[in-house]
Amino acid sequence: MQPLTSRAKTVSRKPMTMWERMYLPAIAKGMSITFGHMFKKKPTVNYPEKTRPFSPVFRGLHVLNRDEQGRERCTACGLCAVACPAEAITMEGAERMPGEENLYREEKYAAKYEINMLRCIFCGLCEEACPKDAIYLSETFAPANYTRKGFIYGKEELLIPDPLTQPEEFAKARGTHGQNQ
């Protein structure tokens, strides 16, 4: 009969020979295989101590960016919310008051900025839509949480630490992704 695939293998129904029925040679062969595996290199990555490098196109948790002087870049234009296919982003804009120039880069800023991480599909369209380079996707995962509410990330969770007052935390949050921005 014509085999359906090239991988088809006919089963041998021959009765076993005396040598085969002793099983011991086959057992010895099998045991040499398992013993050989003891010295093979282990593919396991010791996770918390060692992490695998992310792919350059990896899209993780969002970060709200600041400029070099530590001012928030977001102007609450709403383009990210429009671009978002999952409708995960909501925001409320507010006007910058005199004396707040060191906090916000432009006259308008996001007073409230929320991303629902349960809705988010991490497509990165918000990053592409942003005209101010204010939002980008970092190299971290969304951590687990006990409640649905906990997955709605506000500005406290999203905003990157100030590069002037907390340079180390800033560098850590920025990762290698933000370097070219």
Partner 1 sequence: MHPLLLAMDWALLIEKAVLILIIITISLVIAMYETYAERKVAAFMQDRRGPNRAGPGGILQPLADGLKLFMKEEIIPNSSNRFLFILGPGLAMLTAMMTSAVVPWSSHFHLFGRNISMQIADVNVGILYIFGVVSMGVYGVMIGGWASNNKFSLLAAIRGASQIISYELAMGLAIIALLMITGSLSLGTIVKQQQVGHYYFLLQPLGFLIFLVCAFAECNRTPFDLSEADSELNMGFHQEYSSMKLGFYLFAEYINVFISSAVMSTLYFGGYDIPFVNDGALAQHWGQNPVAILQALSLFVKIVAFIFFFMWVRWTLPRFRYDQLMNLGWKVLIPLSLINMLVTGFVVLLKLNHWHF
Judged by CB under 8 A, the residue of 37, 50, 52, 149 near partner 1 is: 37
Tell me, what amino acid is at 113? Answer: Y
CB of 22 to partner 1, least distance (A): 10
Q: Does 13 bind partner 1 (CB under 8 A)?
A: no
Contact segment (CB under 8 A) with partner 1 among 38-46, 65-73, 135-143, 152-160 equals 38-46
Judged by CB under 8 A, the residue of 7, 11, 17, 43 near partner 1 is: 43
- Return the ∠ at Cα 76 (arms to 155 and 104), rounded to 5°: 70
**Strands of the chain, DSSP E:** 62-64, 89-95, 108-116, 135-137, 152-153
How distant, in Å, are the alpha carbons of 13, 51, 58 from that of 139? 56, 12, 7
Judged by CB under 8 A, the residue of 25, 30, 85, 154 near partner 1 is: 30
CB of 52 to partner 1, least distance (A): 16
Burial of 124 (0-12, 13-18, 19+ CB in 10 A): middle
Tokens of 23: 């099983």
Q: Does 16 bind partner 1 (CB under 8 A)?
A: no
CB of 43 to partner 1, least distance (A): 6
List interacting residues with partner 1 (CB under 8 A): 27, 30-31, 33-35, 37-38, 40-44, 46
